């Protein structure tokens, strides 16, 4: 069964750090780009970051650039999100998701086809 399981969430004070993990199973992890998406309480989905298949290329949302670092260990089938200088507005559920490619009518499309169950991060004093 294809599965993503996040862990590492919790309560942290403003300015603190946290590292999230996402353990992948049931597919060849090293073949896929991976993303982090978060959801503030009662609000919508917000894209956070992505990593290419070997971790050599990464991208970030402006809101987290310079504070968050995405990385992966393909030998351990695990994706990470190191979060530093945390702020109250970073509070929410953090999902990891697999990016898969699909052949469409005219182009090759990418979508987040497998999601973890999410891990909750609360930044509060």
Stretch that binds other proteins, among 13-21, 71-79, 82-90, 95-103 (CB under 8 A): 95-103
User: Token digits for 75?
Assistant: 């030998």
Can you tell me which residue has the tokens 């991976």? 34
92 binds other proteins (CB under 8 A): no
| Distance between CA atoms of residues 125 and 123, nearest Å | 7
| Least distance in angstroms from the C-beta of 67 to other proteins | 15
CB 100 within 8 A of CB 113: yes
Site string for other proteins, 57-86 (x = CB under 8 A): --x-xx------------------------
């Amino acid at each position: 069964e294809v599965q993503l399981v996040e862990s590492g969430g919790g309560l942290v004070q403003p300015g603190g750090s946290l590292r999230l993990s996402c353990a992948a199973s049931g597919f060849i992890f090293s073949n896929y780009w991976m993303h982090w998406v978060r959801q503030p309480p009662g609000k919508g989905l917000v894209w956070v970051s992505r990593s290419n298949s070997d971790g050599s290329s990464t991208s970030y949302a402006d809101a987290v650039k310079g504070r968050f670092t995405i990385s992966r260990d393909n030998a351990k089938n695990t994706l990470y999100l190191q979060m530093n200088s945390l702020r109250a507005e970073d509070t929410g559920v953090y999902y990891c998701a697999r990016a898969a490619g699909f052949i469409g009518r005219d182009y090759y499309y990418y979508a987040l086809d497998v999601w973890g169950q999410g891990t909750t991060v609360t930044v509060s004093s």
